[in-house]
């Protein structure tokens, strides 16, 4: 009887070790799979042009861009961190929240509302520069998209505003897309009734225009 009890205990102990080992294997491969399946996370930080103001669900810039990149074979997730009405000041204030803990890349689209509100270009420049410095310190690559001032702001304002983006991109060695609304701005067929915000077709053109820049940005 005693020997039988010893054998039972030994067998039970052996089962425990096997079970522990099996659990370890499951956890190990689960972690490996999680890392293998982890998509590249791109955070699009911007204003209503990023947020998708007035667009049907799924037609905003981040969603269309993600679909276009996945069609090219990129395993990416493009997070929409756009806030309608946001200025560069607001973007700077919410930067940490927008980035979260695991941003791999950032597309920075801010400045349109600064120009529409006539905010002094030196303020816009300072805010964008602070954002770029934070991203640089965090080692997060950034694709900066340029914006142009509306013509009614006057020649001096337009000159000072428009040069902010290429100069900052050069200074901080950021990837640069010259004008977010290229081939879409001022085209009634590609904009909503306010003639400011692109419609779904307009966003599609923006994505198609930017896609080669974003591809190079990710691949570098």
DSSP result, the chain: -HHHHHHHHHHHHHHHHHHHHHHHHHHHHHHHHHHHTPPEEEEEEESHHHHTTTPPTT-SHHHHHHHHHHHTT--EEEEEEE-TT--HHHHHHTHHHHHTT---EEEEE--HHHHHTT--HHHHHHHHHHHHHHHHHTT--EEEEP----GGG-HHHHHHHHTHHHHHHHHTT-EEES-TTTTTTT-GGGB-TTSSSB-HHHHHHHHHHHHHHHHHHHH-
- Write out pLDDT tens, residues 155-193: 999 999 999 999 999 999 999 999 999 999 999 999 999
- 4 pLDDT exceeds 80? no
**Contact (CB, 8 A) for 76 and 116:** no
pLDDT (mean) for 88-117: 97
| Rounded-to-integer distance, Cα 179 and Cα 113, Å | 15
- 133 pLDDT exceeds 70? yes
- Write out pLDDT tens, residues 77-100: 999 999 999 999 999 999 999 999
**Contact (CB, 8 A) for 87 and 65:** no
Sheet holding 76-82, edge to edge: 76-82, 40-46, 105-109, 142-145, 175-177
Q: What number does CATH give the domain 39-219?
A: 3.40.50.1110
* Percent of the chain whose predicted confidence (pLDDT) is above 70: 83
User: Which of 26-30, 95-99, 122-126, 127-131 is the least confident region?
Assistant: 26-30
pLDDT (mean) for 5-28: 44
Q: Across all residues in the chain, what is the average pLDDT?
A: 88
Residue 220: per-residue pLDDT: 85
| Rounded-to-integer distance, Cα 149 and Cα 162, Å | 6
List, by residue number, the catalytic residues: 48, 194, 197
Per-residue confidence band for 17, with pLDDT thresholds at 50, 70 and 90? low
- What token pair was written down for 90? 């607001």
Q: Provide the 10 A C-beta neighbour count for residue 196.
A: 17
* Percent of the chain whose predicted confidence (pLDDT) is above 90: 81
pLDDT (mean) for 7-20: 44
């Amino acid at each position: 009887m005693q020997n039988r009890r010893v054998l039972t205990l030994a067998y039970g102990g052996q089962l425990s070790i096997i079970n522990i080992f099996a659990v370890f294997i499951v956890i190990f491969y689960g972690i490996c799979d999680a890392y293998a399946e982890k998509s590249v996370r791109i955070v699009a930080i911007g204003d209503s042009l990023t947020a998708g103001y007035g667009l049907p669900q799924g037609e905003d810039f981040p969603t269309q861009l993600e679909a276009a990149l996945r069609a090219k074979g990129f395993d990416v997730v493009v997070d929409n961190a756009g806030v309608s009405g946001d200025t560069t000041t607001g973007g700077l204030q919410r930067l940490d929240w927008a980035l979260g803990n695991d941003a791999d890349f950032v597309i920075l689209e801010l400045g349109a509302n600064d120009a529409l509100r006539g905010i002094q270009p030196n303020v816009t420049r300072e805010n964008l520069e602070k954002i770029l410095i934070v991203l640089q310190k965090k080692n997060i690559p950034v694709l900066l998209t340029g914006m142009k001032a509306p013509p009614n702001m006057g020649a001096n304002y337009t000159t000072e505003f428009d040069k902010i983006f290429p100069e900052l991109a050069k200074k901080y060695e950021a990837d640069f897309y010259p004008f977010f609304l290229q081939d879409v701005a001022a085209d009634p067929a590609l904009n909503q009734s306010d003639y400011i915000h692109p419609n779904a077709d307009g966003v599609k053109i923006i994505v198609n225009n930017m896609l080669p820049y974003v591809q190079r940005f990710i691949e570098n």
